[in-house]
Structure 1
Amino acid sequence: MTAFLGAATVRSVAAGVTDPGEAPEVAGATDEGFALTPLQAAYWIGRNPAFPPGGVATFYYREYDRAPGPEGPDKDLAQLTVAWNRLVEHHPMLRMIVDGDGQQHVLSAVPPYTIEAVDLAAGGPGGGGGAAGRAPA
């Protein structure tokens, strides 16, 4: 990290992104905020496009190819959506945001999340074909 950051700290990087004296109010936050862990700080700084390999957030992508239950795929998706929103409601860190000063805030509530589904077998975005249209691995 020092090759990219030198002697910079989370606060000094944040100072270049936003004016710490004018940090925006965090709506719905339950606290004054708390510091990022060193790893969280590295991820947060890595999102900053000012650094050579920066500008990209960490992410995980997974596709599930399965046969729908007897009630159909819409019922499965509805159950998954309900389960996900219950999980977010139960675990505070799934409602955590990071402000411009690099402080974590846990939101007391968030709007329900809707999981999007795209049926690629029906020729959805990016060309159709589903599994039949995939190139062999």
Structure 2
Amino acid sequence: MPEAIPPSYDAPAGLLCDFPVHWDVTVNQVRTKVVETYPDGKPKRQLATGALFLNVSNAATGASALVDASGSAVIEYGTDGSMVWHVVGPVIARLPAGFSNLPRGLYTIDGVYRIEFSATGFKTVTLVHGTIHNLCGDLG
């Protein structure tokens, strides 16, 4: 299943940004629907859409930003635990060092893109058209 967005989240300094990060979800109207399953009943393809807004802050200084993460996705599940998200619109991505093809950061990704999750959790972001923005610079 897609990674659930916790209603609040804290990351220590150094995990995503040079400072501690906190967020609170202000709106979560995300809906998901499994549209295809494997013979064993596990999801093969799922749709996800809906409004998602987060108030993201630098927990040390209080600097904050409202983030729209209301993208829509078709999610394809591999039998090995991998996933591919085909996305249109904005999402928020927590990317610690060494877990993605992007440098460590807290990102908003917007446009048309694909995020591949390997069975080990490594995330590969492929932008077709749009923007990738690290929020650490805004909040630092």
TM-score scaled by length of structure 2? 0.23
Q: TM-score, normalised by structure 1?
A: 0.24
The higher radius of gyration belongs to: 1
- Bigger proportion of residues as strand: 2
Higher relative contact order (CA 8 A, sep 6+): 1
